[in-house]
Chains A and B, each alone.
With several copies, the nearest count.
Chain A
Amino acid sequence: MSRMRMMPAINSALIEEMDRDKKVILYGEDAGISLLGQTTGLQERFGKDRVRDTPICENIMTGMAVGAAAAGYRPICHLLYGNFIYTGFDSIANQAAKLKYMTGGQITLPIVYMAVIGGGRSAAAQHSDTPYPALMNLGGIKVVVPSSARSAKGLLKAAIRDDNPVFYLTAGSSGKPEEVPDDDFILPIGKAEILREGNDITIVAIGPMVLKAVEASLVLEKIGIHAEVIDLLSLLPIDEETIINSVKKTGRLVIVDEARDVCSAASHIAAIAADKAFNSLKSPVKRVTVDNLAIPYSPILEDQVIPNVENIVNTVRELI
């Protein structure tokens, strides 16, 4: 165990995996110096051949990953911010998500695309999106969203070893230091974690929203409401079993998602519950999400539109 924040945890996962497997390569804009800290020191350690600074050209970056993966490598394509996923979306949606299926399974595509997502940093509309809904709908892509330094490490190692294209999306800020296992620590993709047990209501939260959900559960506890908090971790495949079992126990569900509401992961989880846990539901399924807007710049406005602890608490109280 070491105490570290999220970016160093990501960095350690990258180092361990690149040490382990020579076929893992990484590239991105300023990957060498590392704008956000995930890739710091990698170029010095693994050389400019395996860790490449690219020009600014997201279209070829995302497509190149597909070609390199088909030709035997395990590329990690670093896209900086979630919004630039849109810039390179063509090859993600039309090639990475489809090539295996449409060629009858001739290849596997062990690709990791990484980026940071979400607001809260006054980075405004074009640097604050939470774009996973678009990715989740593509059909041929896995999506993971770690919530902590520990899960960031465990899921990244799993993503790198996965034979499918995986989007690896984390919050832009590095969070608090916490204990992260040193050794070969893998969190399986597709498995959610129950962070707090409770019998009154299930709160499913994603990535940056997990901490807020936990905080909300502490507030709720004080007024006698025992919430079960699920850290979803993987958005696709989604751990339906953990969600459904929890809802069967609690009978109530609130989903907290920093994505815009329409066709969000929250919508999808609500749909799963309304289908597969229907008979256990005692009250409406609620979503705490972002409205049909872009993330504004001014902190006071950003705070208005991004779900906060109070929103979660109030939503739960509406139901109980």
Chain B
Amino acid sequence: MNVNKHNTLDNLSDEKLVELYKKMLLIRKCEEHLSSATKEGAFPGAVHLYIGQEAIAVSMCDHLTEDDWISSTHRGHGHFIAKGGDVNTMMAEIYGKATGICNGKGGSMHVADFKKGIMGANGVVGGGMGLAIGAALAASMDKKNKVSVVFFGDGAANQGVLMEAMNVSSLWKLPLIFVCENNQYSEFTHTSEVTSGKIVDRAKPFGIPTLEVDGNNFIEMWQASAQAVLRARNNQGPTFIEAHTYRQRGHVEFEYSFLSRTYRDQDEVNKWLANDKDPLLRFEQYLFDNSIIDNQKTEALNNEVDSVVKESVSFAVNSPLPDLSSAFNNMIA
């Protein structure tokens, strides 16, 4: 399958485009806050940041409604926000507060909002696969054209459960979309060192149509998502997207506090931070080039997003800690 490459998004209104840009910006700025806050010890757990991959979650989720499902990974803040998760309760969750979306029980690796179709970040690599297949099965039985999307990493593509998911979803023509975000690293190992062949090719023997895209190119990713979601909604079965991207930050924030050595060149990282690689800067440039935003507008948007993030942080900081007894809620009953 080929991506229908228009290289434009002219089916989208300017307002819509700005909204999408804003969402990417919001993810970026939330993550940047978490990056600095973690070094100050502002919240208890570790965070895996989505910086550099924003185009993928935002473009895919633009095709989804709250009735659709997504399952995510340990690197899940971006998916949460893109799918419409509330930033305040996400931030409060990461700060371990009672007002967190999981009441402080889950933290960064488990931000979820089932009411909005967000089955959650997941601490088990490959763990979202079963959830997404199950939701896709439910969707297919509901017959209401709902779809299910599983976001997973290049490292996760080596878990056997992926093969099982591909076989079952193709067999049952489930409305499932596999989105492999190939950010080139599995923790501290370049994924090519632990991966045979190309990931996207793994879907082919199952008869699953595949799309390989530049995941840092918002337009390309948006169009691929449109195609995949359309197929799923039309009961044409699963689609597999491999989106090439780059993990700009460490596997986990502040990792050199415990790692004994480096594992990649700063040159390599810098290359991906540049204007022609970073997905946010690229999308910004596109909007500039098409006169959809200008410097003034950008500044305004930045301010707006800054204040959303700021508000979420103050919401988190000022929220109460969980009630001690809540540790014993939500058990089996």
Contacts and interface: CB of A to CB of B under 8 A. Distances in A.
A and B touch in the complex (CB under 8 A): yes
Given A126-B127, A298-B44, A298-B96, A34 B139 contact: no
B135 A71 contact: yes
A104 B106 contact: yes
B329 to A, nearest CB: 6
Interface stretch (B28-36, B165-173, B221-229, B239-247): B165-173
B141 A297 contact: no
A55 B194 CA distance: 5
B333 to A, nearest CB: 7
Given A55-B164, A292-B331, A297 B96 contact: yes
Given A106-B114, A304-B324, A94 B124 contact: yes
A101 B327 CA distance: 9
A121 B258 CA distance: 14
A68 B160 contact: no
Contacts of A35: 187-188
B260 A59 contact: no
Interface stretch (B9-17, B115-123, B280-288): B115-123
Contacts of B187: 29-30, 35
B127 A293 contact: no
B165 A60 contact: yes
A300 B324 contact: yes
Interface in B192-240: 193-195
Contacts of B119: 67, 70
Contacts of A94: 123-124, 127
A151 to B, nearest CB: 21
Interface residues of A, number: 77
Nearest to A64: B134
Contacts, number: 263
B129 A60 contact: yes
Nearest to B162: A60
B137 interface: yes
A56 B154 CA distance: 10
Interface in A84-116: 84, 87, 90-91, 94-95, 99-107
A72 interface: yes
Nearest to B46: A123
Contacts of A60: 129-130, 133, 160-161, 164-165, 168
B195 to A, nearest CB: 6
A87 B164 CA distance: 13
B127 A56 contact: no
Interface stretch (B55-63, B97-105, B305-313): B97-105
A140 interface: yes
B181 interface: no
Contacts of A126: 109-110, 122-124, 127
Contacts of B188: 30, 33, 35
B134 A71 contact: yes
Interface string B39-79: 00000111000000000000000000000010100000000
A127 interface: yes
A63 B96 contact: no
B322 interface: yes
A72 B131 CA distance: 12
Given A30-B188, A59-B161, A164 B333 contact: yes
B34 to A, nearest CB: 14
19 contacts: A41-B260, A49-B141, A50-B141, A55-B155, A59-B164, A60-B130, A63-B133, A66-B134, A67-B131, A68-B137, A75-B134, A87-B126, A91-B130, A104-B100, A106-B113, A142-B332, A296-B327, A298-B100, A298-B104
Interface of B: 44-46, 69, 71, 93, 96-97, 100-107, 109-110, 112-115, 119-120, 122-127, 129-139, 141-142, 148, 155-156, 158-161, 164-165, 167-168, 171-172, 186-189, 193-195, 258-261, 263, 321-322, 324, 326-333
Given A33-B259, A35-B188, A41-B260, 6 more contacts: A59-B164, A69-B134, A90-B124, A94-B127, A124-B107, A301-B105
